[in-house]
Chains A and B, each alone.
Chain A
Amino acid sequence: MIPASFEYEVATDVAHAIQLLASSGGEAKVLAGGQSLIPLMKFRLAQPASLIDITRIAGLSGIRENGELQIGALIREADLEKNAIIRQRYPIIADTAAVVADPLVRNMATIGGNLAHADPANDHPATMLALRASVVAQGSKGERVIPIDDFFLDTFTTALRPDEILVEIRVPKPAARSGGAYLKLERKVGDFAIVGVAAVVRLDESGKIAAASIGLTNVGLTAIRARNAEEKLRGQAPDDKALAAAGAAAAAESQPVSDLRGPAEYKRDVVRVLTQRAIRKAVARAKGGN
């Protein structure tokens, strides 16, 4: 499998990348880790006229907690997974990074690419939905912060404008008594999800669920939020009954299709099961467990 020819440009900084993008007339693609793009190019399903390599831009692969968590778009999945801040304070992100493709792909793949590619089967989108994150885009008209709910427009389509690149992901600082978890069912290790569920909960002082947010992987045209399930949990004690209700709600609002990963009905059922399990794990973490 051999890609079609293309021109290659190395962006030296963000402004340069934006300028290259703006001048490409929409024919250029941004190259970060390349782990989704290059396979598409090898099958000639993508034939961009040029690639703009942004990986040499400095300062886009850091992780800082600065009122909120700021994740540089170019951080590699492997680094994200091992990062001490992530592991200790945002284990749901470590859960997610650890199940993206396989360890070798994770040595190249970036979180920014995972989001900007907008594949509903990618793992970070659901987690970022659950975390109520936002993404920072820079373009010729400057910087804007896009709430994650507004970011995924359709399969492989985001709110990024043609001359914008995703530079950072911002995640609100975890509230007290909160926790999150990402669970993924796959046909074999390294596969895209049959279903993935990201759940974040905040408990009140009595141990009831004050707020929950839930993101679903690969059961819709984009990663989707299970808003009804979130609603069902609010104010409830995290008991089996409440979890079952949330699972059923999430299953009902998921929109899977039948494919090689299984019939839609099965996937819906897995949404139900994994939603409960993810909430259970998130609650345990909210209580200080693992």
Chain B
Amino acid sequence: MAVETAPAKTTTGQKLHRIHVVVNGAAHDVDVEPRTLLVHFLRENLGMTGTHIGCDTTSCGACTVLLNGRAVKSCTLFAVQVDQASIATVEGLEKDGKLHPIQEGFHQEHGLQCGFCTPGMMMTAVGFLATNPAPTELQIREAISGNLCRCTGYVNIVKSIDYAARKLREPAEGKAPDVR
């Protein structure tokens, strides 16, 4: 799908840049102001409000998305930087009505309370598990050390990610042994 072309300049006379970006598998060609942060692009231009904003210092990770498969903080990226890139957000985790194992894990292990940090936590976990499919507890804790949660005390988030890791290993291994 393509989004309609916006004017080439903003009301303040700023030059706009056309970017082509694939978000959760759908292509978008959009004109953006250079200073538009990726998180605002996702939330305001594309209306995908699952990605949240929790700070202004690249500290909290509520805005985490996958950029070409790697978890990054979308508040510290300009949308122009992701031209030609592929972005994955929380909205793309569920496929064909089936929850992603990380979503299942957070629900089953009570890995969320207010839900505000949750999308960022889950995207961090998805990016991390792609590089480390059988992590230890400490490795999970390190992996989410750039994501702050104020509600859960992290214990159940760690369990949720471990749940997803096991589930993601299942097809290859039949069942997921405790590798730790």
1/0 per position for B53-64, CB-CB distance to A under 8 A?
A: 000111101001
A3 CB within 8 Å of chain B: yes
Contact yes or no, A34 B71, CB < 8 A:
no
Considering the complex, which residues of chain B in the window 126-176 have a beta carbon less than 8 Å from any beta carbon of chain A?
127-128, 131, 142-143, 145-147
Indicate whether A5 sits within 8 Å of B72 (C-beta atoms), given known contacts A55-B81, A103-B124: no
Interchain Cβ contacts within 8 Å, total number: 85
A104 CB within 8 Å of chain B: yes
B24 CB within 8 Å of chain A: no
Contact yes or no, B146 A8, CB < 8 A:
no
Which of B12-20, B41-49, B92-100, B103-111 forms part of the interface with chain A? B12-20
Minimal Cβ-Cβ distance residue in A for B76: A38
Q: Which B residues are CB-close (under 8 A) to A189?
A: 142, 145
Minimal Cβ-Cβ distance residue in A for B15: A7
Q: Which A residues are CB-close (under 8 A) to B75?
A: 42
Contact yes or no, A42 B34, CB < 8 A:
no
Considering the complex, which residues of chain A in the window 1-28 have a beta carbon less than 8 Å from any beta carbon of chain B?
1-8, 10
A290 CB within 8 Å of chain B: no
Minimal Cβ-Cβ distance residue in B for A82: B131
From B15, B56, B73, B128, give the contact of A105 (CB < 8 A). B73
Q: Which B residues are CB-close (under 8 A) to A42?
A: 37, 56, 75
Known: A7-B34, A55-B81, A105-B146. 11 other contacts (CB 8 A): A3-B37, A6-B35, A38-B77, A39-B56, A41-B35, A102-B145, A103-B146, A107-B67, A108-B72, A108-B77, A190-B146
Residues of B within 8 A of A (CB): 12, 14-15, 17, 33-35, 37, 56-59, 61, 64, 67, 70-73, 75-78, 80-81, 83, 124, 127-128, 131, 142-143, 145-147
Residues of A within 8 A of B (CB): 1-8, 10, 31, 34-35, 38-39, 41-43, 51, 53, 55, 78, 82, 101-105, 107-108, 189-190
